């Protein structure tokens, strides 16, 4: 990642934890990721952004669901 690229804060002001208590329903970050964001390097922020994309990918989301 280029040092000149800034990763925007993914907060969308819908600050509510999902029913499983894992992720914010708005930005899809964990509480630790949200709290650490101001102190993260741009590379760390890019890594979190990649995790968010995985969390919002329907195929990944289905794979994370427990089987009945």
The CB density around residue 49, as the number of other CB atoms within 10 Å, is 13
Question: Tokens in use for 14?
Answer: 């819908």
Predicted local distance difference test score (pLDDT) of residue 42: 97
Distance CA(27)–CA(29), nearest Å, equals 6
Q: What pLDDT shows up at residue 67?
A: 63
Blockwise average pLDDT, block size 10, the chain, 68 residues: 79 94 96 97 97 87 60
pLDDT at 59: 75
pLDDT at residue 65 in the model: 61
Check residue 60 and give its pLDDT: 61
């Amino acid at each position: 990642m280029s040092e000149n690229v800034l990763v925007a804060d993914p907060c969308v002001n819908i600050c509510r934890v999902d029913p499983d208590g894992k992720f914010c329903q708005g930005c899809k970050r964990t509480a630790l990721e949200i709290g650490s964001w101001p102190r993260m390097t741009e590379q760390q922020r890019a890594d979190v952004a990649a995790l968010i994309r995985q969390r919002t990918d329907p195929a990944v989301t289905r794979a994370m669901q427990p089987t009945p």
